[in-house]
Structure 1
Amino acid sequence: MSTHPVDINLENVSSNDSFEYSIIFLKGTVTCRENVCKTLNCKVLVLTDDETSEFTVQDGRFKCIIDLKLGRNLVNVICDSDLHVGQYSLNLERKPNICDKVLKLLYVVPKGDTGTFQSSGTCLNSAESACKRIVTGVKLLQCMTAERLNELGLGRKTFNLATENGQEICEIFHSQYIKEQFFSWTSEKIWNMTARELLASGVFAQGVKVLAFLSCTEYFRESNEIKGYVACGRGHLAMISSSGLHSWACDLKDVVSCLTSSIPIDSSLFDDSGSRGTLSGCYATTLGAALHEIGHIFDLVHTDFGVMARGFEELDLFFTVGNPQPKHYYTEMMRRCASQEISVRVRAPTKVTSVSFGFRPIGNDKDDRKWDRDGQAYFHRSAAVLLSGHPWFGKRCQLEDKGPIQISGLEVKVPNGIRLIELHTEDDRLVKYWDFTKNPTNIHRYCLSWFDVKDVIQPSLLVQDVTGKIVTHYLNFDASIPSVSQ
């Protein structure tokens, strides 16, 4: 049987691209040169200096996740099946991240506890296994954040992870509180008590934000109750439960199989799968929830779609091909767990209006790309602009600081130049934003219209200048309401 030559094309990466993080995402197509096959379903091998990985090609499309070492890396993508043969080679460079601000990963273990997380069957659930799963998962989030920003023309910018001897790490933090105390507290109190404890222990050093996982989260099937549940992010601390760690991959080689697993969640475990009931759904939902909470500590508010809404549940669709679309429930859905009530409802979206300077109006962000192909785990345009200029997202050229951001009434004055203005509701939801990133010259003053804010209850403004500096300010209507003659 003769073989047919194929062309392998990468859509998101070119030879000589450079990266400041280790896990790299490749997506592309395989097409038959002789048009013998309309669509291809086969495998591709990805060879780097250190390892060989295999990925599925479905309907001519493939997605790969690989690990780069520091320096130059030769990457070969090979299709070598009984019917088709082809190869694509490229050089990629991994550079050290020189940003002096880091996201530290912590695994919080109660006093006197071993640190095991709830699991079933043969799943290894030690504290060490938890840390491996967390590092692998958050490195995926680091990669996806960079790719999503790059898709919008903002560059591959992302957060930096704390390392030890050049390797990303998750540290075990031994709490002074016992498991029974965590079980008796609400999500809000777990966050508050942990934040105080981390502050007192000196974890929040300058240039450090924290993503923490609580080890002792436990589901009780008999009473349909979950204890030690937390999902909260603000200030310098994002914290979530360990209830989904049993579904997370320990190593990069297991990520795709974990994100596509159709194995049902064991009935002894809490089903946090976005109503999918599978291990892959649990992995996508809980890892996506971690990104949502990370977004909050990087100054993001809730948006009408994307990661900062409920789009984080579709993280699996970004990394995989041929994965079935998750179910969506647009009505309020509540899990009532004895005395604790966990809300997983999807709010009715707030319509977001955008104003752009220097290029065409953005309108609806979703019109600018084929959003449905890779799921809804992407960032709203405003969130992406904010992150790409954020002080925690890469080292920047030091610009002269010409003065602080000033907000008086509806007038914004920014000596360094305005990058972004967001209008928020009282419950921190985005209503409208003004994007200045494409303006050919810096704008130093902008005045909102009374009609922008008149229907917003207790509105606030977030202003980011071109140096990345961010100020949030509650509007003083007394200074901005136009006088009315009697």
Structure 2
Amino acid sequence: MISDDCVHKIELDNLENGEIIKHTILLIKGHIRQQRQAKKCREQHILLRVRHDASVLDATWELQIQSKISRTGQFKLLCDFAQHELETVCTRTPLILNFSYCNIVYQCEILYESTAYSKNNYRLQALYITCVNQKPLAAEQVHENCEKINLNLRLVQSVYAEQLRSAGYGRRTFTLNNDCKVFESHLTCEEVWEQSEESLWQNFAKEILNSSTWGGEEKLKFVAFIGCTKYDGAAVAVTGDFSYSNIRKHLKGHAALGGGGLALFGAAYLYAWPRSFNEINACFGSNKLIDLTQLPDDSNYRRTYGGVYATTLGAVVHEIGHTFDLGHTKDGVMGNGVDYINRVFTIDNLTEHLPERVIQRPLPELRTEIATRPRFTQLKRATNTFLEKYHEQKINDSFYFTPNCVIILAYNKWFRNSNDYNAEENTVDATITYDAVNSCVIVEGHENQLRLIEVRSIDNSLVKYWYEPQSNKECSEIYKFYLPKEAAKVLGENHYLFVLTRSGITKRFCEN
């Protein structure tokens, strides 16, 4: 029974009145502030109702785990606007969000803008790749895999939006072009099984770009899943070696590699992904153990379905990040935080003391049109103490973009807002050069002032230094940035420059 003496306050941490939401899945984070009570309140859940004008879109939104109140009063709710087709001729639909807890109610009004009205023509397209001699899959199985990809890419879209909003850039995110489409490769399954990740990336990238359907689509990037990925669990069982390296050795036709215009993955881990929106939280929280004789494991040794879902979905965020020009970082999504995407959506998480990741990869090609980015390929034992991990995960969810990554995303063409650039020609004719003698980056044209400079390792694209040049107050036609001595020194020692202008132009320079 609720006491009349209970005095609470509902506070939203990541949503304000009047905000415009341009992605279909919205994560709402907040707190119940307990101001006064006669005895401990027994209420355990917060209830959310969403209305459009006077009509109720979904009678009651009570999302079990998402709506549960944590021990510290925190709550997280997921809303899927795509489940409710809003029949309106308006580009923006006003929605009323009513939160109720114990004896209090809080109301927030937002505007939902369907992606159909997005003015940004730079988009991301999902593909499901099949081979010429691949055994025909039941139509329902193909449909199920594509549904999983569609749902989880919308979740990834929401993650990017949350990250940029928390950094002060608003809810910028990429736009999905269409639902996942089946792409028929000219390769046989046997050819796919024999190729390395890099070869698969190169071959599929060429096929997609040369296809009649997708060739010439310069404003599209692709995220593709290989349908014939094969796992030999029986061979793993015979060896008795269930390490990640041995599991990976017996996983054929698999990739987790992103760069240029393509992020490529194997479809072997879709078994742990949710198909419907209502399954998301249950999949993140699943402690079901994996039978390694039947299914592969990529969970950073958690060995659970929930661990596989978190790590592999985090890998999708990571590799898509490479297609948006992000390099590797020591921490965060593009570093050691790739395993923790589950913490973004769940509450009362226990501290996870997972092995740290090592960035190691052969030299990438420094060609912007088909640049292949390195990825995480090895694991080593964590050097951080449990206490350090506890404090790190208590302060944040361990899944975040570092400030330099956020800047690159905010100025990327695929993250533009409709009012960012009035004329696209501003992004075409910029002249960016590097004066090696004076260690100076030169940009001609005041419309293209420098926004960010990174010094990255050629071996693995790990960012060693990054700088935010000050704005050119004189607005001269030539803008110069002189590299600090430490950056100039390593530039000649297997490092390269990544340069970003305020109009979104990027360029790479290597002295060697």
Q: TM-score range by the shorter chain?
A: 0.7 to 0.9
1:109 aligns with 2:130: yes
Matching residue of 2:414 = 392
Q: Answer with 305-314 or 31-40: which moved more.
A: 31-40
Q: Secondary structure of 2:307's partner?
A: helix
Measured in 2, the distance between the counterparts of 1:448 and 1:423 equals 10
| Stretch of structure 1 that moved more, 451-460 or 196-205 | 451-460
1:332 Cα shift?
A: 7.0
Give the conservation status (yes or no) of the 8 Å contact 1:115–1:126.
Answer: no
Relative to structure 1, the CA distance from residue 206 to residue 307 in structure 2 (aligned partners, 3 Å threshold; closer, same or farther) is same
Q: Which residue of 1 aligns with 2:193?
A: 183
Within 1, Cα distance between the matches of 2:173 and 2:184?
Answer: 29
Partner amino acid, structure 2, of 1:243: A
Match of 2:462 among 426, 429, 434: 429
Q: What is the CA–CA distance in structure 2 between the aligned matches of 1:438 and 1:35, rounded to whole Å?
A: 52
Aligned ranges 1:331-410 → 2 under 5 Å: 343-345=377-379, 372-394=394-416, 395=418, 396-398=420-422, 401=426, 403-409=430-436, 410=439
Match of 1:466 in 2: 502
Which shifted more, 29-38 or 134-143?
29-38
What are the superposed Cα offsets for residues 425-446 of structure 1, whole Å, 9 maximum, x if unpaired?
Answer: 1121101111247887768211
Structure 1 residue 192 corresponds to structure 2 residue 217? no
3-state SS of 2:379 partner: coil
Q: 2:488 aligns with which of 424, 441, 453?
A: 453
Which of 76, 84, 92 is the matching residue for 2:110?
Answer: 92
Shift in alpha-carbon separation, 1:38–1:469, aligned structure 2, 3 A: farther
Between the aligned partners of 2:406 and 2:141, the Cα distance in structure 1 is: 36
5 Å matches for 1:110-125? 110-113=131-134
Give TM-score scaled by structure 1 length. 0.83
> Which whole-Å CA distance do the structure 1 matches of 2:462 and 2:104 have between them?
49
Cα 1:439–1:91 change in 2 (3 A) is farther
Instruction: Structure 2: give runs of 5+ residues left out of the alignment.
Output: 52-56, 87-91, 237-249, 361-375
| Percent pairwise identity | 26
- Tell me which residue corresponds to 2:336: 310
What pairs with 1:52-201 in structure 2 (closer than 5 Å)? 52-54=61-63, 55-59=67-71, 60-68=73-81, 71-79=93-101, 84-95=102-113, 96-113=117-134, 126-163=141-178, 169-201=179-211
Q: Once superposed, what is the RMSD of the aligned Cα atoms?
A: 2.9
2:331–2:337 contact (8 Å) kept in structure 1: yes
Tell me how far apart the structure 2 counterparts of residues 371 and 391 of structure 1 sit (CA, whole Å): 32
C-alpha spacing 1:441/1:137, structure 2 compared with 1 (3 Å): farther
Alignment pair present for 1:245 and 2:270: yes
Counterpart pick for 2:449 among 413, 417, 434: 417
Query: Aligned pair 1:234/2:259, yes or no?
Result: yes
State the distance in 2 between where 1:162 and 1:53 align.
30
Partner of 1:221: 233
1:119-149 CA deviation, whole Å, 9 max, x = no partner?
xxxxx98111111111111111111111111
Structure number with higher helix proportion:
2
Q: Secondary structure at the match of 2:352?
A: coil
- The one-letter amino acid paired with 1:411 is C
Detail structure 1 runs of 4+ shifted over 6 Å in the superposition: 38-41, 331-334, 437-443
Runs of 5+ in structure 1 lacking a partner?
118-123, 164-168, 335-341, 350-365, 477-486
Cα displacement string for residues 456-484 of structure 1 (whole angstroms, at most 9, x for unaligned residues): 522211111111111111136xxxxxxxx
SS in 2 for 1:57: coil
Deviation at 1:455, TM superposition (A): 3.7
Which amino acid in 2 is paired with 1:42? Q
The one-letter code matched in structure 2 to 1:325 is T
One-letter code aligned to 1:430: V
Secondary structure, counterpart of 1:283 in structure 2: helix
Distance 2:42 2:469 in 1: 43
- Tell me: CA distance 1:467–1:35, structure 2 relative to 1, closer, same or farther (3 Å): same
Alignment check: 8 A CA contact 2:357 2:378 kept: no
Alignment-mate amino acid for residue 327 of structure 1: H
